[in-house]
Amino acid sequence: MDKRPDYKIIEKEILNLWNKNKEIFKFDINKDQRYIIDTPPPFTSGEAHMGHALEFIWIDFLARYKRLEGYNVYFPLGFDCHGLPTELKVINKLKISKENKEQFIKACIDWTNKMIESMHKTFERLGSSFDRDKVYKTIDRKYEAFVQYTLIKMFNDGLIERKRYPIMWCPKCQTAISMQEAGYLEKEGYLIYIKLPTNNGKYILIATTRPELINSCSLILIAKNKYVETENSLIVSKIYAEKNNLKIIREYDYKELENLEVTIPLINRKAKIISDNDVDYNFGTGIVWICTYGDPYDIKWKEKYNLPEIISISEDGRIISSINEINGLKVEEAREKMKEILKDYIYKIEKINHNVLSHTERSDCLSPLEFIPKEQFFIKIKDLKEKILEWQKDIKIIPESEVKRLIDWINNIDQDWNISRTKMLWGLAFPFYEKDGKIYPVNIEDLPIDPRIDKEKVKKYAGKFFEDETVDVWIESSITPLAILYYALTENKEFNPKELPELFDKIKEYLPVDLRQQGYEIIRTWLFDTIVRVNLLKK
């Protein structure tokens, strides 16, 4: 070696050698002593960044270490392609709208392939020892067919249903999102105390951050606790009166209040008062009104008490109301307007910081979410909490401190997984159609299928496909442990969808994979979704 070697030249020669001699990092699924790494597929809405580099350096270190120990190492590289962030890049950077579907989808494909080429070069330049022959993209025809097959399998097993239900909806992005994509952001707001007249000449005092939903209010709930009448004939929780040094005129047992009836201001609707164990006695005045829909509790209570569904918010985030002054206004505008309209019924207004449910994951949207009833596809997970808690025990998580994040998320499951995405063009189509009021899966030999494109395939079913909906992107990336084995088993073979059932049974023989490196921030998405999907599909 030269006394003063040029390491840039040496490095380039080594990288060229690795790319030409693919056998160096090649995995052979038919050989023993396998060590399989399930890598997190980077999202292709942008260039690779320092986070990607750090992540793949860690994985590369472990892959090389295991090879030195004599293992037959599988280090795949994949790219997660569909989704809203790419759509936003095409809209905002390329200035292409969704009005021309074909042009928009082509722009998404071009953008994605450009990002994949760039990221692929970056990972090669980093010296990552991934298997050069087993690079997958979630927009590959064989990957799309595989995902659609898993959906058909789950549907046939009774795990997927289509129903009308209040879903989390992003008015800004004009699509449904799942609970995994939502998070709470702290924002400034107002807690507005509103006096509701009762039929005994008093006022029930409620505290709300959503006065604009008054048109949907149909029930008042109280806790099973002590309430009092204060000066100005206000009925509040005893603890609220004591904290605020209000003069107490008399006490009420909660059962006495259940005999009263209130009138909702401005709309003159009569509403009953019912006691409920889930009312937070310590929040506000210990009294809540139920509006369809302000939060998840409203959904729960609407179902529990069989309340009427009165919709107050449209899909584009505008108020639907019999109150003319706010009808058609944006939610935030209507909220401000209600301070003026309700002035005769407002006891006080407090400025607060509170957590607002927002569109936080895989998006720079950060818009507040609404609950809007729509017919969508759901995976039935609400009643699987105990099973999921058992399944997670099969995984060794390092460090152990992160197990709590996963368990906390599982314990908070209170709804089924909404897997439909409305008005999103850049996504995978559902392999289902509706005929005579029933849902049916397509034939496996027709996979992958996209009713927007595959018109000849669609014709023979003589049914209605769901062209305005695409699949939640986490459905695609959550099966990477299965998909990487699928790619290993079908290497150098011509794609044939008819072989999917047989291949799927073969894949299960190689589970579980040995290693999955990921960040803590995707425990509730990639990890949770994978635990659910893989275990349900292994049945």
Query: For 50-72, what is the mean pLDDT?
Result: 95
- Looking at every residue in the chain, the average pLDDT score rounds to 95
Q: What is the pLDDT of residues 235-244, one digit of tens each?
A: 999 999 999 9
How is 211-258 classified by DSSP, letter by letter? GGGGGGEEEEEE-SSEEEEEGGGEEEEHHHHHHTTPPEEEEEEHHHHT
| Nearest residue to 76 via CA among 20, 125, 35 | 35
Indicate the pLDDT class of residue 2, thresholds 50, 70 and 90. Answer: low
Q: What is the pLDDT of residues 503-525, one digit of tens each?
A: 999 999 999 999 999 999 999 99
Q: Is the pLDDT of residue 365 over 90?
A: no
How far, CA to CA in Å, does 253 sit from each of 29, 224, 235, 248?
70, 8, 11, 14
Q: Is the pLDDT of residue 11 over 70?
A: yes
pLDDT score at 1: 59
Token readout for 520 is: 């803590």
Distance CA 338, CA 214 (A): 9
Query: For 136-161, what is the mean pLDDT?
Result: 98
Per DSSP, 330 falls in state: B
C-alpha torsion 459→465→471→476, nearest 10: -30
Pairing of strands 269-275, 261-264: antiparallel
Percent of the chain with pLDDT over 70: 99
> Which of residues 533 and 422 earns the better pLDDT score?
533
pLDDT score at 479: 98
Query: For 421-441, what is the mean pLDDT?
Result: 96
Q: Is the pLDDT of residue 7 over 90?
A: no
Q: Is the pLDDT of residue 34 over 70?
A: yes
Q: Is the pLDDT of residue 326 over 90?
A: yes
pLDDT score at 22: 79
Distance CA 522, CA 538 (A): 23
| Nearest residue to 52 via CA among 135, 118, 113 | 118
Indicate the pLDDT class of residue 77, thresholds 50, 70 and 90. Answer: very high
Peptide bond into 399 cis (omega under 30): yes
For residues 36 and 484, the answer to whether their CB atoms sit within 8 Å is: yes
Token readout for 67 is: 């090879």
**Collapsed DSSP state (helix, strand, coil) of residue 280:** coil
How far, CA to CA in Å, does 32 sit from each of 29, 119, 436?
8, 32, 51
For residues 35 and 515, the answer to whether their CB atoms sit within 8 Å is: yes
Distance CA 115, CA 403 (A): 34
Distance CA 90, CA 110 (A): 10
Q: What is the pLDDT of residues 223-276, one digit of tens each?
A: 999 999 999 999 999 999 999 999 999 999 999 999 999 999 999 999 999 999
Indicate the pLDDT class of residue 20, thresholds 50, 70 and 90. Answer: confident
How far, CA to CA in Å, does 31 sit from each of 70, 73, 75, 265, 525?
12, 10, 15, 74, 33
Mutual angle of helices 141-156 and 480-489, in 10-degree steps:
120
11-20, 394-403, 426-435: range with lowest mean pLDDT: 11-20
pLDDT score at 362: 65
Query: For 308-312, what is the mean pLDDT?
Result: 96
pLDDT score at 427: 97
pLDDT score at 19: 83
For residues 86 and 45, the answer to whether their CB atoms sit within 8 Å is: yes
pLDDT score at 194: 98
Q: Is the pLDDT of residue 204 over 80?
A: yes
Q: What is the biggest distance separating any 2 CA atoms in the chain, rounded to whole angstroms? A: 99
17-31, 39-53, 151-165: range with lowest mean pLDDT: 17-31
Phi first, then psi, for residue 189 (nearest 5°) are: -160, -165
| Nearest residue to 418 via CA among 478, 464, 385, 375 | 375
Query: For 26-34, what is the mean pLDDT?
Result: 95
Peptide bond into 85 cis (omega under 30): no
Distance CA 503, CA 487 (A): 10
List the domains of the chain with CATH numbers: 7-152+449-460+475-537 (3.40.50.620), 183-359 (3.90.740.10)
C-alpha torsion 287→290→293→297, nearest 10: 60
Query: For 144-160, what is the mean pLDDT?
Result: 98
Number of residues assigned to the chain: 539
| Nearest residue to 167 via CA among 289, 301, 310, 315 | 315
Which are the contacts of 156, defined by CB distance < 8 A and separation ≥ 6? 441
Instruction: Write down the pTM of the prediction.
Output: 0.92
Q: Is the pLDDT of residue 364 over 80?
A: no
